[in-house]
Amino acid sequence: MNTDTCIEINITDQTLKLKQGDRIVHEYTVSTAANGPGERMHSNCTPRGEHVITGKIGDGEPVNTVFVAREPTGEIYTPELRQQYPDRDWILTRILWLSGCEPGRNKGGDVDSHDRYIYIHGSPDDVAMGEPGSAGCIRMRNRDVMALFDQVEVMTRVIIEE
């Protein structure tokens, strides 16, 4: 991994930029929390500040693989499956699990991003991007999260800002 690799997520713009040093390698439209920014446990907000990727989950799984508790369920997402489980928070294809780096802000206690299960993950194709809508995570198109997944490593820096 290039140690200059960094992900910058802008909550206001609903964008994720993959950077190598000062150069933007890719820019993606994302969807952050419907409840806006915030760090508290059970807030369903997207946490701000410096994070790192501490887990990469789903390598080699098919597009639209459904994950529950970070494990593939054996299901492939379809609109019919959504009708069967209308209350599921659909986490699909790939997961990048984030951990906060700032004690008291996004690490430890009731503000711990890792313990809040904050991910960058894939979502159904009909989920809107470019507007807040998640339960705290950073949602991406499946093809985009697959591309990002292949370009980052565990311990890649992730900066989330407004």
Mean pLDDT rounded to a whole number for the chain: 96
Rounded CA-CA distance 124/128 in Å is 9
Domain count, the chain: 1
User: Which structural domain range is residue 155 located in?
Assistant: 5-161
Q: Are 99 and 114 in contact (CB under 8 A)?
A: yes
Which residue from 42, 44, 30 is spatially nearest to 120, judged by alpha carbons?
A: 30
CB neighbours (10 Å) of residue 95? Answer: 23
Chain segment 114-138, per-residue pLDDT in tens: 999 999 999 999 999 999 999 999 9
Write down the pLDDT at residue 2: 56
Could you give the 3-state DSSP secondary structure of residue 120?
Answer: strand
**Integer distance in angstroms from the first to the last C-alpha of the chain?**
27
Q: pLDDT at residue 3 above 80?
A: no
Q: What is the mean pLDDT of residues 28-42?
A: 97
pLDDT tens-digit series, residues 36-77: 999 999 999 999 999 999 999 999 999 999 999 999 999 999
Residue 74, helix vs strand vs coil = strand
CATH number of residue 109's parent domain = 2.40.440.10
The pLDDT score that the predictor gives to residue 59 is 97
